[in-house]
Amino acid sequence: MFDHAAPVSAPAVLAGAEEAIGFVLAVAGSSSQVVLDPQAIDALAQVADPVAASAGQVGSQIKMRMGGVWLVANVRSLSWQEVDGGRILADIDFLGEGDEERLTGKLYHFRRGVTRYPMPGCQVVPVTTADLKQVYAADAQASIGVGTVYPTKDVRASLYVDSMLGKHFALVGSTGTGKSTAAALILHRICERAPNGHVVMIDPHGEYSAAFKGNGALYDVNNLQMPYWLMNFEEHCEVFLTATGSQRQIDADILAKCLLMARGKSRLGQEIAKLTVDAPIPYLLSDLTSIVQLEMGKMDRAGDTAPYLRLKSKIEEIKADPRYGFMFSGMLVADTMAQFIARIFRLPGEGKPISIIDVSGVPSDITSVVVAVLSRMVFDYAIWSRNEAQRPILLVCEEAHRYIPADQGVASSSVGRILGRIAKEGRKYGVSLGLITQRPSDLSEGVLSQCGTIIAMRLNNERDQSFVRAAMPEGARGFLDSIPALRNRECIICGEGVAIPIRVSLDTLEEIKRPASGDPLFSQLWREVGDEDAMIARAVKRWRAQGK
């Protein structure tokens, strides 16, 4: 510690934004310490510039000169020290550096990372609004504006599209903080920037159809028409197998043998020399049941037929259940794989670059299988089209903790495995992953750590806060203390998608572009009466018909 350094004098009120407010005390790699003069900080509060006025607070930025370069740092934490009548000790994280304009001393050409560190005793100066405009200037990179940098009203906060999508992103925030609206805002801006893009959004609650009526293709159980034969063997097992333990492996072996024979019966299957059980070849469900029946007839003892009966009855049950019609209908046996890919992945986009897949009407026991098939189709298409002109696809997964849970691990289900694989390898093949969740601590840690950009809204739960803190880069730690104190429609963005970590007030989205996720107004709705009998009758009718 360098306690012998003399205290700095308080700056003049008007020139406060240009005066020194402290000095560097100790330097240690990414994190260092500076001493701030409390009188200088008090005087800054009178300055008209809101950025300079907040200098010295946790989460604010300060700068220091080294030769012809300005170093920019973030204040992580503050403590009081009884030296020279009292002074403030601040832990700082270096964010980056920018060149100094010789005549005016202004900062320009900002870049992330520091090449030269300051010496102890170097003066510390508050960052101004003009500096922030340079720091957050989007340069020539493709970017989307999503709001304004806190506490300014005119410094635009931009996300670098290529960096954000190239290394995946996560949007986290407690219920009611404006998370769905923030997701809609980002996706709308991406669609405006790339009207011929390819975005697939998994929507488990049917919220986003209202937001993308104008510029999206909307799919639900009524028009999704996803052929059952697109499932690979693992996904078939999740749908058709009911046994557990050692019996499950016996059933799986029987299903593998019968499924391969059913796929081989089709004209397409006969054209392939070495057909595998995973190949997306159309087959008839009736062929599969008749092959199971045939194989069962070869059994000598009655006890040996139990696995065949289990399998046959499950297939027939799913065939007969109208809730599964969007996937297991007899109409879906034709080879429509190319049309399905073109439709769902928006190839071509035709001015509607986003597919909203509303899975709220899908029976809960196969929801994860439907999401697994869609996710795997995105990844497999990217792999098998490597020799073609590249068409990158963004896969956005709302309520991601449902599909990639932390407690069971990624390997517990087909959807967890494929999303985990996309998180690790998708970047190589042009597949980007966007995860949206209200419970980041319930999300697999390995998958969250693969997200290069984290957009954090208010998190009320302490476990969630510490989980996000662990996933964020070092330089953003100073911002994390403000996560519980964020207002609605405010967020902290850090990682690849921004030049340095920032706190953002998000833009207001037009009513027509917002998702249908508003909170009910109990005080108002509980005053309304009338027509209850008819409402109940209509609801019961839909309930019994399962929405059909």
State the CATH number of the domain containing residue 410: 3.40.50.300
Mean pLDDT of 308-336: 85
Read off the pTM. Answer: 0.84
Does residue 2 carry a pLDDT above 50? no
Which residues contact residue 63 at a Cβ distance below 8 angstroms, ignoring those fewer than 6 apart? 70, 71, 72, 73, 107, 124, 125, 126, 127, 131
Number of domains composing the chain: 3
Residue 128 inside a domain? The answer is: yes
Best CA proximity match to 50, nearest among 145, 153, 136, 134:
153
User: Do residues 171 and 130 both lie within one domain?
Assistant: no
User: Do residues 468 and 481 both lie within one domain?
Assistant: yes
Q: Which residue, of 78, 102, 136, is where some domain finishes? A: 136
User: Do residues 401 and 277 both lie within one domain?
Assistant: no
Best CA proximity match to 326, nearest among 369, 290, 297, 289:
369
What pLDDT is recorded for position 14?
A: 31
User: Do residues 350 and 467 both lie within one domain?
Assistant: yes
Q: Give the pLDDT band (50/70/90) at residue 519.
A: low
Q: What is the mean pLDDT of the chain?
A: 83
| 279/126 Cα distance (integer angstroms) | 62
CA dihedral 227, 413, 222, 329 (to 10 degrees): 40
Containing 71, the helix (H) or strand (E) segment is strand 69-81
User: Do residues 58 and 46 both lie within one domain?
Assistant: yes
Q: Which residue, of 307, 325, 343, is where some domain finishes? A: 325
Q: What is the DSSP letter of 126?
A: E
- For the chain, the residue count is 548
| 416/285 Cα distance (integer angstroms) | 27
Which residues contact residue 346 at a Cβ distance below 8 angstroms, ignoring those fewer than 6 apart? 197, 198, 199, 217, 352, 353, 354, 355
User: Do residues 438 and 338 both lie within one domain?
Assistant: yes
| 76/455 Cα distance (integer angstroms) | 19
User: Do residues 95 and 167 both lie within one domain?
Assistant: no
Does residue 12 carry a pLDDT above 60? no
Q: Could you tell me the two tokens for 86?
A: 């009292």
Mean pLDDT of 235-263: 88
Best CA proximity match to 478, nearest among 462, 461, 502:
502
Residue 547 inside a domain? The answer is: no
Q: Give the pLDDT band (50/70/90) at residue 546.
A: low
* Most confident listed range (1-10, 114-123, 181-190, 481-490): 181-190
User: Do residues 403 and 474 both lie within one domain?
Assistant: yes
What percent of the chain shows pLDDT beyond 70? 91
Answer for the pair 514, 112: CB distance below 8 angstroms, yes or no: no
Chain segment 386-442, per-residue pLDDT in tens:
888 788 899 999 988 888 887 654 556 888 889 888 988 988 888 999 999 988 888
Residue 371 inside a domain? The answer is: yes
What pLDDT is recorded for position 407?
A: 65
User: Do residues 217 and 255 both lie within one domain?
Assistant: no
Q: Give the pLDDT band (50/70/90) at residue 267.
A: confident
Residue 251 inside a domain? The answer is: yes
- Based on its alpha-carbon atoms, the radius of gyration of the chain, rounded to whole angstroms, reads 29
Answer for the pair 67, 90: CB distance below 8 angstroms, yes or no: no
Residue 176 inside a domain? The answer is: yes
Mean pLDDT of 358-368: 88
Continuous H helices in 97-138: 129-135
Q: Whole domain around residue 61: which residue ranges?
A: 22-136
Using CA atoms, how far residue 495 sits from 38, 159, 374, 492, in Å, is: 32, 10, 28, 10
* Most confident listed range (292-301, 424-433, 466-475, 479-488): 424-433
Residue 5 inside a domain? The answer is: no
Residue 150 inside a domain? The answer is: no
Q: What number of helices (H) and strands (E) belong to the chain? A: 19, 18
Collapsed DSSP state (helix, strand, coil) of residue 546: coil
Mean pLDDT of 172-191: 88
What pLDDT is recorded for position 186?
A: 92
Dihedral pair phi/psi, residue 250, rounded to 5°: -60, -50
What pLDDT is recorded for position 400?
A: 87
Does residue 52 carry a pLDDT above 60? yes
Residue 542 inside a domain? The answer is: no
Q: Give the pLDDT band (50/70/90) at residue 13.
A: very low
Does residue 15 carry a pLDDT above 70? no
User: Do residues 440 and 351 both lie within one domain?
Assistant: yes
Chain segment 111-131, per-residue pLDDT in tens:
877 888 888 889 998 888 888
Does residue 249 carry a pLDDT above 80? yes
Mean pLDDT of 150-159: 83
Using CA atoms, how far residue 328 sits from 57, 133, 311, 373, in Å, is: 59, 55, 16, 14
Q: Could you tell me the two tokens for 211?
A: 């937001």
What pLDDT is recorded for position 412?
A: 67
User: Do residues 510 and 459 both lie within one domain?
Assistant: yes
- For 290-311, the DSSP string reads HHHHHHHHT-SSGGGGHHHHHH
Does residue 466 carry a pLDDT above 90? no
Cβ density class 311-337: b for 16+ within 10 Å, e for less: bbebbeebbeeebbbbbbbeebbeebb
Q: Which residue, of 136, 167, 185, is where some domain finishes? A: 136
User: Do residues 194 and 247 both lie within one domain?
Assistant: no
Does residue 156 carry a pLDDT above 60? yes
Lowest mean pLDDT among 317-331, 416-430, 516-530: 516-530
Answer for the pair 430, 387: CB distance below 8 angstroms, yes or no: no
